[in-house]
């Protein structure tokens, strides 16, 4: 065990020195994104928008809720510059589960009223840039 003590000490020193560097926010700068979503020509009353990076090195996806046709991804939760596939979802309110139902299996999820070509099989894209503004408007059906 004594022969591992210098290695353990070196690892502790590295952790102390490198640890704060990861907490300074020195990572790549993220950018806000916002815009409007119309469904069948009218503002989409509720839903969600997700930005999935086409380049895996960009890291995690980002997104926001859609309310009254508008969404906003703040910079603190924002996107790195690059090309993204965009998915838009909105549950059909007429097929929502009964909020007064007894606990237990709730059955199938409500049907998405937005066509698959805008979510599961999306054809939508957005190019996020450092220059901005990163405003993306979408018309879906």
Q: How far apart are CA 21 and CA 15, in angstroms?
A: 10
Give me the domains of the chain, ranges plus CATH numbers. 26-97+108-140 (2.60.40.1120)
- Are the beta carbons of 62 and 73 closer than 8 angstroms? yes
Round the average pLDDT of the chain to a whole number and report it. Answer: 81
Task: Quote the pLDDT of residue 71.
Answer: 98
Beta strands in 27-81 (DSSP E): 33-39, 42-43, 46-53, 62-67, 70-73
pLDDT band (50, 70, 90) for residue 96: low
Q: Higher model confidence: residue 2 or residue 130?
A: 130
| pTM for the model | 0.74
């Amino acid at each position: 065990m004594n022969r591992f003590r210098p290695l353990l000490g070196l690892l502790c020193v590295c952790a102390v020195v490198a640890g704060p560097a990861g907490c300074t926010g020195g990572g790549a700068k993220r950018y806000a994104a916002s815009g409007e979503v119309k469904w069948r020509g009218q503002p989409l009353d509720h839903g969600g928008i997700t930005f999935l990076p086409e380049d895996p090195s960009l890291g995690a996806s980002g997104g926001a809720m859609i309310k009254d046709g508008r969404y906003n991804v703040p910079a603190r939760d924002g996107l790195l510059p690059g090309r993204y596939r965009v998915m838009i979802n909105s549950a059909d309110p007429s097929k929502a589960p009964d909020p007064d139902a007894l606990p237990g299996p709730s059955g199938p999820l409500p049907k998405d009223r937005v066509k698959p070509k805008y979510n599961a099989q999306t054809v939508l894209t957005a190019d996020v840039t450092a220059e901005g503004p990163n405003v993306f408007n979408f018309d879906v059906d």
